[in-house]
Homo-oligomer: A and B are copies of this chain.
Amino acid sequence: MASRPTLASLAEELGLSRQTVSNAINAPERVKPDTLRRVNELISASGYRPNAAARQLRTRRSRNLGFRLMPTGDGINGAILDRFLHALTENLQDHGYRVTLFAARNDEAEMQSYEELLETSDLDGFVLTGTHHGDARTDWLMARDIPFVTFGRPWTGSGNDEDCAHSWVDVDGQAGTAEATTYLLGRGHQRIGFLGWPAGSGVGDDRRAGWASSLGTALPPSDLEALAIGVDDGARQGAEGARQLLERGATAVVCASDSLALGASEQLRAAAPGTPPAVIGFDDTPVASALGLSSVAQPVEAAAVAIVDILRHVLDGAPEQPVPVTHRLLKPRLVLRDGGGPLASPHTH
């Protein structure tokens, strides 16, 4: 393996001080433009690039992994990613790794950040969230042989997530909404609505599929079509969607998020005062708990443990060993509450 250009070797070749080269990389505003240009040209020519950095990742241990902090949104659904970050940080730390956070407006900006981080920091790899169909980020990282694991499937759309060439850990949302729907069927509901997001999101379509598969034998296809509504995520949108579902004869609603469930529960409560609303949310957020709403809980702690296991295999394994690609689909858990309002005690299933 060719030795990696260092600050010292770059400085020597250019006849500059190490500090000047360091400034050119880390604080370019402090460096004269023509000096900056000379440094950057040599850096480009010398292979001091993400590709080179990638080759070093298996031998140089910064013990730091990059993680993009997603926007918080309404604070309800974003909470699941914050919980995941806590679990990830704690589990990585148990094995001597830290997390380097960065923000990015979109996937393009995220890839730009990868490039900057790999040039200026010595990250060992990345953990990605928010995977989606046609995700350019995973292609970018694979092309450069940068270690990473995604919390989320690739959502290729062809159902072949198991063929995916990179490691991922995800939660089986379909199984979660299927269990929620089956539970409501068992409580005597037949016209169970699904309140999700507009079609086309891997996560949303997957959650809808779980509801449809459980309800499929109970209702004719035309009813299935009428009883599924896609709206933008949010409590007010959930209330409006639930209002339409009630008009179409729904007596219970399975939701793709707790934000939607919050709005839906309010509609069902208003439609039948005194009756606990038959609404099941997703993510078991503090809001669901506070409102006494049932919800599908993602095992984020187990997901973090699985991701750390995979990364340790990649990063701490012997360099000459082939790195196995690992896919782990975890089962969510239906948390039942009586929906009667705040502080209601959970009842057993």
**Which residues does A use to contact B, with CB under 8 Å?**
8, 19, 22-23, 26-27, 59-64, 67, 69, 71-72, 74-76, 79, 82-83, 85-86, 89-90, 93, 96, 98-103, 117, 120-121, 235-236, 239, 262-263, 265-266, 269, 285-287, 289-291, 316, 341-343
Contacts and interface: CB of A to CB of B under 8 A. Distances in A.
Contact of A290 (B60, B62, B100, B287): B287
A341 B277 CA distance: 14
Given A286-B76, A290-B287, A26 B235 contact: no
Contacts of A62: 26, 121
Contact of A98 (B82, B102, B342): B102
B98 A86 contact: no
A287 B286 CA distance: 7
A245 B343 CA distance: 19
A22 B89 CA distance: 23
Contacts of A63: 26-27, 120
16 contacts: A27-B63, A62-B121, A64-B100, A75-B83, A85-B101, A89-B102, A93-B102, A98-B102, A98-B117, A98-B121, A100-B101, A235-B343, A266-B343, A286-B286, A290-B290, A291-B291
Contacts of A121: 62, 64, 98
A265 B102 CA distance: 38
Copies of this protein, total: 2
A181 B265 CA distance: 32
A236 B289 CA distance: 12
A1 to B, nearest CB: 12
B102 A101 contact: no
Nearest to A286: B75
Given A89-B101, A99-B101, A291-B290, A343 B262 contact: yes
Contacts of A19: 59
A269 B344 CA distance: 13
A184 B103 CA distance: 40
Contacts of A98: 100-102, 117, 121
A31 B99 CA distance: 25
A172 B176 CA distance: 43
Nearest to A76: B286
Q: Which 9 A-B pairs have the closest CB atoms?
A: A75-B286, A99-B101, A82-B82, A90-B103, A26-B61, A287-B290, A93-B103, A266-B343, A266-B342
Contacts of A96: 26-27
B71 A86 contact: yes
A19 B102 CA distance: 29
A237 B60 CA distance: 50
A72 B86 contact: yes
